[in-house]
Amino acid sequence: MNELNELKQKGKVPDLAYFGGGKEFGKVLHVGKPNIGSRETFMKMMNDLLDRGWLTNNGPYVREFEARIARQANAKHCIAMCNGTIALEIAVRALGMRGEVIVPSFTFVATAHCLQWQEITPVFCDIEPTTHTIDPEQIERLITPRTTGIIAVHLWGNSCNIAALEKIAKRYNLKLLFDASHALGVSHKGVRIGNFGDAEVFSFHATKFVNCFEGGAIVTNNDNMAEKIRLMKNFGFDGLDNVTYLGTNGKMSEPSAAMGLTSLDNMQDFIASNESNYRAYSRNLLSVPGCSMLRYDELEENNFQYIVVEINEAAFGLSRDQLVQLLHAENIRARRYFYPGVHNMEPYRSNSPSAGLVLSVTKRVTSEVMSLPTGTAVDTGIVQRICDLISFISANSSEIRQKLQ
């Protein structure tokens, strides 16, 4: 903060030229920068799998990865996949969803694409303001005779209102799938995510705190579902030349599983980094007006993998978009996840132009939320400097606002 402090002492406000060139942070700080576990372990596994000559198709590392994820989630079955999106598509198909399925709009686009890809219509539902998860109260109003299911998202690793969702699913005979892409290692009322609904789907994309480069998994306690999913992700093969089911190729490869296993070895360290960054952000942003952080439920296990901040323009002095612009100019690549809401993306915007009418919380949140860098690439010193910068921007917002115009 040297330059900023100097300017501050001289009573000067940095102009846009200051907010550029990354004077504050020499290196770019990304949201989603992958955690890399022990390179030594990973390289050894890569050598082993090359020596073994078994690169994919249910190899030993994939089987070990599945066993460890199932154990981690305390669930009966884990079927590893090549990514979270294909895992969602296969889960939707295995559950027999069709017609219409209710989903939040405030999520990554894959939650809706996994349906539309199979010509199932996503019907967008609003979210609860404190957790950003689907609002069960609105779901009932969206149910039609064509509705066959709900995909709820444990967004940011905050679990949904599961009891309410299970009640609705039961009452209307709907399938209930959880997109748990963000929620590995999270508990809900003391039970690990992976045990709810008909199935839950994890993503192990490079940007997730446990990653397989690309990867995903379906976790379920239902034996029949698990068997069906295993067939579906491997072209329907049951034995060497016996295809018993319509399937696709959703298999995870051995190098991906090796990365996943390495990541799992370091999972607790990754969570510890995330948690100390989360606590440092919470402490430092507390006094910044108009800046509020999404809280994790302290009574549960959390992975703390997203730092989610809501910017109230009136109190902060600048809009979320203006703040993000300034942070980017300083090499802090804050992200506007999940702007503009899936209902505002194609093909949904064209297919259901009035979907936004019932999404008032989504509308506000998509214009106010940003994610900040965390993970092992960031430490509490860096967090402090990011927060100092945000605080400085807010304190000088009226002058900065004029310069931005």
- The region of 9-17, 103-111, 122-130, 241-249 touching ligand T4K under the rule CB under 6 A is 103-111
- The region of 177-185, 265-273, 289-297, 360-368 touching ligand T4K under the rule CB under 6 A is 177-185
Residue from 35, 72, 131, 181 binding ligand T4K (CB under 6 A): 181
- The region of 107-115, 222-230, 250-258, 392-400 touching ligand T4K under the rule CB under 6 A is 107-115
Does 252 sit near ligand T4K (CB under 6 A)? Answer: no
Q: How far is the CB of 179 from ligand T4K (least distance, A)?
A: 5
Q: How far is the CB of 361 from ligand T4K (least distance, A)?
A: 17
Q: Residue 24 contacts by C-beta under 8 Å, 6 or more apart in sequence? A: 1, 3, 4, 330, 331, 332, 385, 389
Cβ–Cβ under 8 Å, residues 72 and 185: yes
- Return the ∠ at Cα 274 (arms to 271 and 278), rounded to 5°: 135
Selection from 274, 86, 282, 113 nearest residue 186 by Cα: 274
Q: How far is the CB of 171 from ligand T4K (least distance, A)?
A: 26
- Give 107 or 344: the residue with its C-beta nearer to ligand T4K: 107
- Give 85 or 362: the residue with its C-beta nearer to ligand T4K: 85
Q: Between 10 and 49, how does the x/- string for binding to ligand T4K read (CB under 6 A)?
A: --------------------xxxxx---------------
Selection from 266, 294, 290 nearest residue 282 by Cα: 294
Does 111 sit near ligand T4K (CB under 6 A)? Answer: yes
Does 153 sit near ligand T4K (CB under 6 A)? Answer: yes
Residue numbers 46-85 binding ligand T4K by CB under 6 A: 83-85
- The region of 60-68, 134-142, 176-184, 323-331 touching ligand T4K under the rule CB under 6 A is 176-184
Q: How far is the CB of 340 from ligand T4K (least distance, A)?
A: 14
Q: How far is the CB of 85 from ligand T4K (least distance, A)?
A: 3
Does 375 sit near ligand T4K (CB under 6 A)? Answer: no
Q: How far is the CB of 379 from ligand T4K (least distance, A)?
A: 17
Q: Between 201 and 240, how does the x/- string for binding to ligand T4K read (CB under 6 A)?
A: --x-xxx--------x------------------------
Q: How far is the CB of 212 from ligand T4K (least distance, A)?
A: 9
- The region of 44-52, 199-207, 294-302, 317-325 touching ligand T4K under the rule CB under 6 A is 199-207
Does 336 sit near ligand T4K (CB under 6 A)? Answer: no
Q: How far is CA 340 from CA 7, 105, 293, 344, 363, in A?
A: 36, 9, 20, 6, 8
- Helices 380-395/2-9 angle, 10° precision: 30
- The region of 62-70, 108-116, 162-170, 397-405 touching ligand T4K under the rule CB under 6 A is 108-116
Q: Between 337 and 356, how does the x/- string for binding to ligand T4K read (CB under 6 A)?
A: x-------------------
Over the range 194-228, which residues count as b (16 or more CB within 10 Å of their CB) and which as e?
A: bbbbbbbbbbbbebbbbbbbbbbbbbbbeeebbeb
Does 108 sit near ligand T4K (CB under 6 A)? Answer: yes
Cβ–Cβ under 8 Å, residues 339 and 403: no
Alpha-carbon torsion, ordered 202, 204, 205, 206, to 10 deg: 150
Does 131 sit near ligand T4K (CB under 6 A)? Answer: no
Contacts with ligand T4K, residue ranges (CB under 6 A): 30-34, 83-85, 107-108, 110-111, 153, 179, 181-182, 203, 205-207, 216, 333, 337
